[in-house]
Structure 1
Amino acid sequence: METVLVTGGRGASGRWVVDRLAGDYEVVVVDYDHPGLGVDPAPNVSFRAADLAERGEALDIVAAVDPDAVVH
């Protein structure tokens, strides 16, 4: 299954994008905060916390996830 990294996926627009992609792709949501262990994400959705305004964090997260596509 292809992987899509979605930046800001916990915001209003981001949640809409994640919901639409989750049925067809493995989705990795990157936002400032992790939603916590009590959150029950949709199937094929995982969360990572990172400040993408920091170049090093952005490069590290993209290298770790190795996505097929990025939605920003």
Structure 2
Amino acid sequence: MEALSTLEHELKYRKRFTKELELQITQLKRDKTSSPAKSLLYHLEQSKIENQSLLNDVQTLFLMLLTKLLQKPR
């Protein structure tokens, strides 16, 4: 059960992190002239992609663990 709780917390953290990345990306898209802003925008967009991949992995693990727990005889 502890592993399930840990995965649940990780899912929540990843989703909050995604929202923060989206907020920062939106802010940086407004800056059309700054070279550092363009660079940071690129890196944050890449981070968002990698974070989504990690989120998918965590969700897969969460579902696998939940399935095992539900199949386990009581």
Q: TM-score, normalised by structure 2?
A: 0.24
* Greater helix share, structure number: 2
Greater relative CO, 1 or 2 (CA 8 Å, sep 6+): 2
Return the TM-score normalized by structure 1.
0.25
Larger radius of gyration: 2
Hey, which of these two has a bigger chunk of strand by percent? 1
